[in-house]
Amino acid sequence: MKTVGLTYDLKTDYKFKEGDPLDANAEFDSLSTVDVIAEAIAANGFKVKKIGNASNLLEKIDNLGVDIVFNISEGLSGRNRESQVPILLEMAGVPFVGADALTLGLTLDKVMAKKIFIAEKIPTPKFFEVRSIEGLINQDHCQFPLIVKPRFEGSSKGLSESSRVENADELKKQVEFIVKTYKQPALVEEFISGQEFTVAIVGNENPQVMPVVQIKIDGKLKLNDKFYTFARITSDRLEYICPAKITSDLKKKLDELSLKVYRAVDCRDFGRVDFRVDNNGNPYVLEINPLPSLSTEDVFMLVAKNIGITYEQMVGKILNSALVRNGVN
């Protein structure tokens, strides 16, 4: 029986410091999520060895005793935090599930990811970066309303109702909040009024595009000025609709763009692409997540049900993609 190591960060691993935002540990997993994933791996006929975070991995790296590692670790701190576990495993020659350190580093940095999208002619909202309030000058190529985000965060960290801004005063206030609170530059994008979708993908040589999922907020599919925020993730104001009730033309556009993005950043084994679609039916890629949540309440569980497989089978598909890619028989 092969042994699968499991790397992860628990919410309790994060030690809050004075001045930290309330969502500082939002990307980390609860013990219950880790246990569910471990049980799903075991249900596929593997022995599971829980390793934990990057610090634990570093201590055990010379004596892991595993055939492959299933990595869901977000890393503790820094712009390259998601790359910490993969680079250690790569150095040690241990195969692992998911994207490598380069892809994870590039995609967590929203500005770098958008530069790749633009180079690949993938539609994405117009944007600019602000490193300090003093650097906030006239940006004529972008029009209000705008949305302000931390440059390298995930899980909707830093996103609230105040993130969407209508004028220069609101923009200045929100940029100042992001720069001071998250201690990183702010990404400012044109806000796309319309609908929001997400598309999960599994596989490598011939990736399988899963059914399109639509985001429903406050009972509405046409979101207009509403958007995904940190507070809404854990509230009953947000729902996932799968499959999305959309035209075949829009589905084709989202499927094709999802694959193009997945391949553009060298995603491996699994990933998820997030979109806004404007009121004229034009899709814009917001970001790609090559380390998406596998919580039983998230998108991958929903699409598993829709295609007629269990959560355990979905985890098995992801794991098998990595086993085949690494030649682990």
Residues 179-232 have pLDDT tens digits of 999 899 999 999 999 999 999 999 999 999 999 999 998 888 777 666 766 444
Domain 3-97, classified CATH 3.60.15.10, yes or no: no
163's torsion region: left (phi>0), alpha (psi -120 to 50) or beta? alpha
Cα separation, 8 vs 71, whole angstroms? 7
Write the single-letter amino acid at 168.
A
Task: Decide if pLDDT at 307 tops 60.
Answer: yes
Residue 195 belongs to what H/E stretch? Answer: strand 194-202
Provide DSSP, 254-312. HHHHHHHHHHHTT--SEEEEEEEEETTS-EEEEEEESS----TTSHHHHHHHHTT--HH
Angle among Cα 216, 222, 223 to the nearest 5 degrees reads: 70
Angle among Cα 175, 155, 99 to the nearest 5 degrees reads: 115
Class of domain 194-326: alpha beta
* CATH architecture label of 126-190: 2-Layer Sandwich (3.30)
Check residue 140 and give its pLDDT: 63
The CA R_g of the chain, rounded to the nearest whole Å, is 20
Which residue intervals of the chain bear CATH 3.30.1490? 126-190
Angle among Cα 196, 198, 199 to the nearest 5 degrees reads: 145
Cα separation, 134 vs 188, whole angstroms? 15
Task: Decide if pLDDT at 85 tops 70.
Answer: yes
Per the listing, tokens 């979101």 go with 223
184: Cα within 13 Å, side-chain hemisphere: 20
Share of the chain above pLDDT 70, in %: 94
Check residue 20 and give its pLDDT: 82
Six-digit token pair at 32?
A: 């219950």
Residue ranges of the alpha helices (H) in 204-298? 230-233, 248-264
In b/e form, how buried is each residue of 72-89, taking b as 16+ CB within 10 angstroms?
bbbbbeeeebbbbbbbbb
Average pLDDT over residues 227-239: 62
Which residue intervals of the chain bear CATH 3.40.50.20? 3-97
Q: Tell me the pLDDT of the chain averaged across its residues.
A: 92
* 139 burial level (CB within 10 Å; 0-12, 13-18, 19+): middle
**Length, in residues, of the chain:** 329
Task: Decide if pLDDT at 234 tops 60.
Answer: no
| pLDDT classification of 303: cutoffs 50, 70, 90 | very high
Contact at 8 Å (CB) between 271 and 296?
Answer: no
Query: CB 214: neighbour CB atoms within 10 A?
Result: 20
| pLDDT classification of 56: cutoffs 50, 70, 90 | very high
DSSP class of residue 32 equals H
Q: Using N-to-C axis directions, what is the helix angle for 110-119 and 101-108, rounded to 10°? A: 100
Which residue intervals of the chain bear CATH 3.30.470.20? 194-326
